[in-house]
Structure 1
Amino acid sequence: MNIEATLKGAMAIEGAIGVALVDYESGMALGTLGGGNGLDLEVAAAANTEVVRAKARALSMLAIDDSIEDILITLGTQYHLIRLLGGGGSLFLYLALDRGRANLALARHVLKQVEGELQI
């Protein structure tokens, strides 16, 4: 599955507002889909890069020898899910969901499936 198909797969999740594939070394989005009013995915990609970097620093400072799978940020009306991609690379999927329509457990499950099919 290529980047476009991966983004479309993520946007098929019930309640999806927008998705981005992000390189957290540069903070740049490799691809985006959705977003729009109130959700600039390019800005979100850069901002969430800082979230990933901060959590990685925290793990290092705490001497926790483990890797990050997901980072979940809950807002009053949205979920923001950051899924780091396996394989030792520097990519993550960022998915914004409408909290009233989304099933968080299902979204995490589908995002993991989509990740497994991504080929770059």
Structure 2
Amino acid sequence: MTSVEVSLKTLMTEVEGALGAAVVDYSSGMALGSLGGGKDLDLNVAAAGNTDVIRAKVRTMDELGIQSRIEDLLITLDTQYHLIRPVMGRGGNGLFIYLVLDKGRANLAMARHQLKRTEGNLEV
């Protein structure tokens, strides 16, 4: 099992094109930790905003009676991919990992694979 800090460092160093990553509590919208970002990518603002995205999807699934769990959500922008993956492991209920990628440099399949592995190893 790995800590939030180690998990974020792993994502930022092992995922080609990673621009920023955060572990977020979607009950409060607060980032428990973040790494990367910058003046054009405020990860605290993104954490709060993406909390609304995941809450809306969970609410919609409930209204539709969908019993499946969310593996991940992908938002594609002109120059970036934004991946959101709920944490299902031990102690992770109510958390998600948020990863921002440079679309021109990232391998989306490999990023999703690394994000899944990170989520499985995360210990909060």
Please give the range of the TM-score, normalised by the shorter of the 2 chains: over 0.9
Q: CA deviation at 1:119?
A: 1.2
Counterpart Cα distance in 2 of 1:116 and 1:59:
23
Partner of residue 101, structure 1: 105
Counterpart Cα distance in 2 of 1:115 and 1:71:
14
Q: CA deviation at 1:16?
A: 0.2
Partner of residue 39, structure 2: 37
List runs of 5+ in structure 1 lacking aligned partners.
none
Percent identity between the two aligned chains: 62
Partner of residue 2, structure 1: 3
The yes-or-no answer on 1:114 pairing with 2:118 is yes
Partner of residue 69, structure 2: 67
Partner of residue 52, structure 1: 54
Partner of residue 18, structure 1: 20
Q: CA deviation at 1:117?
A: 1.5
Partner of residue 89, structure 1: 93
Structure 1 ranges of 4+ moved more than 3 A: none
Q: Which amino acid aligns with 2:41?
A: L
TM-score by length of 2: 0.94
List runs of 5+ in structure 2 lacking aligned partners.
none
Q: Which amino acid aligns with 1:2?
A: S
How many residues are treated as equivalent by the alignment? 120
Q: Which amino acid aligns with 1:113?
A: R
Q: Which amino acid aligns with 2:10?
A: G
TM-score by length of 1: 0.97
Counterpart Cα distance in 2 of 1:115 and 1:56:
18
Counterpart Cα distance in 1 of 2:70 and 2:120:
16
Structure 2 SS opposite 1:25: coil
